[in-house]
Amino acid sequence: MNFLPHLEAICSQVEGALACCVMGTNGLPVEQHRVARGDIDLEGLWVEYSSLFGQIERAGEAMHGGGLTELAIHTDRVTTLVRIVTPEYFLALALAPDGNVGKGRFALRVTAPRLLSELA
């Protein structure tokens, strides 16, 4: 189980990348790669954001919207892109607010299936 090359590849491809991680949807960290250090507690944000997934899943089910596949949360100081890989694991990418969101979504989308065999 070596996710680091995947996380490094994502960060090197996407303008404005700050960090990337594989994390459990229960909030337990698996692996992360940080490009930039700063005062934002990215790991803390990822844990907090992972606590939203259950609510979004329940809303999707109740309102016939289907299951959660991706999430993007933009705050004043960081953009967080999330891609659900399996019901147990997700990929997250932290970007500077002017980072390349389109390329970030693309990088997570193509990387997610490559992690599947290692997470199964």
Smallest separation, CB 115 to a copy of itself (Å): 18
Dihedral sign (CA 96, 102, 103, 108): positive
Distances (CA, A) of 71 to 26, 39, 56, 120: 16, 23, 10, 22
Instruction: Pick the closest to residue 46 from 30, 23, 67 (CA basis).
Output: 23
Closer by beta carbon to a copy of itself, 8 or else 106: 106
Closer by beta carbon to a copy of itself, 74 or else 114: 74
Smallest separation, CB 38 to a copy of itself (Å): 8
Smallest separation, CB 45 to a copy of itself (Å): 5
Closer by beta carbon to a copy of itself, 35 or else 72: 72
Smallest separation, CB 93 to a copy of itself (Å): 13
Closer by beta carbon to a copy of itself, 4 or else 58: 58
Instruction: Pick the closest to residue 11 from 89, 72, 92 (CA basis).
Output: 92
Q: Chain centroid to CA 76: how far? A: 18
Binding site for a copy of itself (CB under 8 A): 39-42, 44-45, 48-49, 51-52, 55-56, 58-60, 62-78, 101-102, 105
Q: Three-state DSSP class for 27?
A: coil
